[in-house]
Chains A and B, each alone.
Chain A
Amino acid sequence: MAVTANPGPGQPTVDLREPAGWRRTKNQVATILMWAAFAITLVPLVLVLYTVIQKGASAISWQFLTGGPIPPNVLPLGVGGMGPAVIGTLEITGFAALMAIPLGVLGGVYLNEYGATSWLAKLLAFLSDVMTGVPSIVMGLFIFTIWILHFGYSGVAGAFALACLMLPIVIRSTFEMLRLVPDSLRQGSYALGATKARVTVTVVLPAAIGGIVSGSLLAVARAAGETAPLLFTILTVEATNTNIFSGANTALSTQIFVNATSPYVGAESRAWGSALTLIAIAFILMIIARVVTARFTRYTR
């Protein structure tokens, strides 16, 4: 393992070590900084997860996850359950995803494949980016004004608000993923006599599908945890409502809000338990995303 050697009499000694000096110091400093940044990033992530699990795990039971109705907040843990909120979250977020993902993917396809450099596409891309920055409560108020005032509270109204929130995220992530698809693939497809729609559907979208799926599921996970857009749109009731098209509904995120702001011990435990349930749902979604993406992208290397 000698890094210095004397090649022979009369030959200069070869030293292949990095010479001590500013260059080596800089490299060491950079390495330490990277590790430090990594460690600091972990702190909030681990702490949040730890706190929620620590305070919420004791609340979780089959009864908690599926039972109902959600009891008044003065009652202790163990009465009723969060079942209605779990169902509400799944159906509202699911319906929102059903609206926002196809629309958002098509929007992204338009922006990158069809609009290209047209002023309309540029305007739409800009507006969609602005929409990403709109506070989520504004989406709730918007749906309240144009929908609730005419048709009353319903799960679908909440889904509309969440879809408004997801739409720009899906558009942006689709657009970025499509931009990464090399033009040579499009050209190869065109050269075989494919029409533009064919090129897009059979070559461009499959090449980008992994990123589109993960982008979309990120948007879903984000929407599932949103509270503000639902406050004005679903009214947050206690009983299960499987019909999202009529009548007030409920969701985990708004239940966390309602329970966490009440002073009773039972309500507090229910809030932590709901928080843990929500994180678990997001976790499961991410795992599904990984599996689905791996399946779709098995040919990319």
Chain B
Amino acid sequence: MDQPENEVLPKLHVPSTALDVPAESFASPAVFNVDGVSIYYGSFRAVAHVSLTIHEHEITAFIGPSGCGKTTVLRTLNRMNDLIPGARMEGSIHYRGAGLYDTAVSPTAVRRRIGMVFQKANPFPKSIYDNVAYGPRINGIRGKGRLDEIVERSLRQAALWDEVKDRLGKSGLGLSGGQAQRLCIARTLAVEPDVVLMDEPCSALDPIATGRIEDLMQEIKAKYTIVIVTHNMQQATRVSDRTAFYSVLRDEKSDTRTGVLVEYDRTVNIFENPKDDRTQAYVTGRIG
């Protein structure tokens, strides 16, 4: 870690929004309406009958045990699953009222609005500057001044600017794990998406780097809608406004496992007053 020695322990993240606001006091407009979605890989049904609504300028967390399909659902939200041969979706997903899987919809147009940060930081083997400028460039933004401005703004948003401003020409692969992940976040923010999907963005990071990314999520959520998959339940309680708990349904006869959405509610309700026994068992740590 390239953290200064005198850095205090990460702050306790108690987002006021998640705990203080009464559950039904307001509901921001829906960004995604997921309705009866089942996702197949070939003939294998990975996820069945998921329905939920994701709200604007909120952080929505997907939690649940491994193999419950939370990442799969996340990847259908910006059509990343299209890249997997044999992946198929049933049901409907509407993004701000438009059918995400309508025939005329271009997956690339979708992904320009709905960005994604991956579990493992994947900076391109290019300079830090070119990493961040990549998205704007492929979207047709030229001109040094314009790009400089976007790169600085994005790196500042991702709380990385001060650490890299003197070495923008150096390789993005030379950064530490936490910095590389923040670079990937900056790269995603550079195209000014509407939604940022995060697939376990902190799973490979230490608590200090995790704390920085969580702070960053709180800062940017005024501008973006965030959906985060996490294995870390403390993280879900710290950052998210709403939480979706997924679980695995095992078919005894055919021995197949299917992910299902068990419960979706405000985070405070999921963790303090869950309606479903399975949620209760999971969040209190009785099942793994």
Contacts and interface: CB of A to CB of B under 8 A. Distances in A.
Interface of A: 116-117, 182, 184-195, 198, 202-203, 206-207, 297-301
B45 interface: no
Contact of B122 (A184, A198, A202, A301): A184
Contact of A299 (B110, B172, B187): B172
Nearest to B113: A193
22 contacts: A184-B118, A185-B122, A185-B125, A186-B83, A187-B80, A188-B118, A188-B124, A188-B187, A191-B118, A192-B187, A193-B108, A193-B135, A193-B138, A202-B134, A202-B138, A206-B125, A299-B125, A299-B126, A299-B172, A300-B171, A300-B173, A301-B171
Contacts of B118: 184, 187-188, 191
B85 interface: yes
Given A184-B122, A189-B134, A301 B111 contact: no
Contacts of A184: 118, 120, 122
B191 A207 contact: no
Interface residues of B, number: 32
Given A116-B85, A117-B85, A299-B125, 4 more contacts: A187-B118, A190-B80, A191-B115, A300-B171
B173 A192 contact: no
B127 A198 contact: no
Contact of A193 (B85, B112, B127): B112
A212 B233 CA distance: 45
Contact of A191 (B80, B125, B126): B80
Given A116-B85, A206-B125, A301-B171, A191 B108 contact: no
B188 interface: yes
A206 to B, nearest CB: 7
A6 to B, nearest CB: 39
Contacts of A116: 85
A191 B78 contact: yes
B122 A190 contact: no
A63 B26 CA distance: 90
Contact of A188 (B78, B109, B122): B122
Interface in B113-145: 113, 115-116, 118, 120, 122-127, 134-135, 138-139
Contacts of B138: 189, 192-194, 198, 202
B99 interface: no
Contact of B171 (A188, A189, A192, A298): A298
B280 to A, nearest CB: 35
Contacts of A182: 122
A183 B112 CA distance: 19
B174 interface: yes
Nearest to B134: A192
Given A198-B138, A301-B174, A193 B111 contact: yes
A189 B124 contact: yes
A299 to B, nearest CB: 4
A227 to B, nearest CB: 40
Interface string B45-85: 00000000000000000000000000000000010100101
Contacts of A300: 125, 171, 173
A19 to B, nearest CB: 39
A193 B173 contact: no
B111 A207 contact: no
Most chain B beta carbons < 10 A, residue from A188, A190, A195, A206: A188
B147 interface: no
B184 interface: yes
A129 to B, nearest CB: 24
Nearest to B116: A191
B83 to A, nearest CB: 6
Nearest to B139: A193
A182 B138 CA distance: 20
Contacts of B112: 192-193
A186 B125 CA distance: 12
Nearest to A196: B108
B125 A192 contact: no
A193 B112 CA distance: 4
A253 B223 CA distance: 67
Given A185-B124, A189-B134, A299-B173, A194 B108 contact: yes
